[in-house]
Amino acid sequence: MTTNSNFKLQISLRRAADDAPVFQKQDGERFDNSITVKLNANTKYSVFLTTRPAKAIQRVILKGEKLPIDRQKAERNEDNCCVYHSEWTTSGMEITKSNLRNYLPMVIEMQDGASVDANLQVKIYPEKENTHCKWGQEFHMLDLDCTQKSGQTAIDVRKQQYI
């Protein structure tokens, strides 16, 4: 008998220098995803990953770069989750031209060897630009509703939602 394991994986970003939020905008059907997250070039971001219920993460690869991760202490009322933190920089990424989007592929490998693949649709603005980059709604997280089938290493994302 095959059993499935369901869990949530939530990915959030904040500016590392000042812990400021990043923003998202609604793009309609012009691109692969209807939501675009706005980032600045040459900027360091804090990346937070949360699993509910708790599921240990072993490795995070963002845009081909293996990120060091630190397990964080969950808030007192959150005793059945795991929270991880890392930092990632947009250094070397080109400014996104008008009417185009970039995609940040992410691979999150779990302790049991299974992995989740996700893509974050982004627009990269100049480093010091803070007018257009802050238009829109605050991006809280990419919420992935995941299912892992017993004995399989690929984790299916059943639903993806920008919050």
pLDDT band at 1 (very low <50, low <70, confident <90, very high): very low
Fold category of 4-162 in CATH: Immunoglobulin-like (2.60.40)
| Residues found in the chain | 163
Closest to 103 in 3D by CA, of 84, 83, 120, 81: 120
Tell me the whole-structure pTM to 2 decimals. Answer: 0.93
Cβ within 8 Å of residue 69, ≥6 positions away:
49, 57, 59, 60, 84, 85, 86
- CA dist 20 and 46 (Å) reads 10
- pLDDT of 2: 57
- CA dist 53 and 124 (Å) reads 33
Q: Work out the mean pLDDT of the chain and round it to a whole number.
A: 94
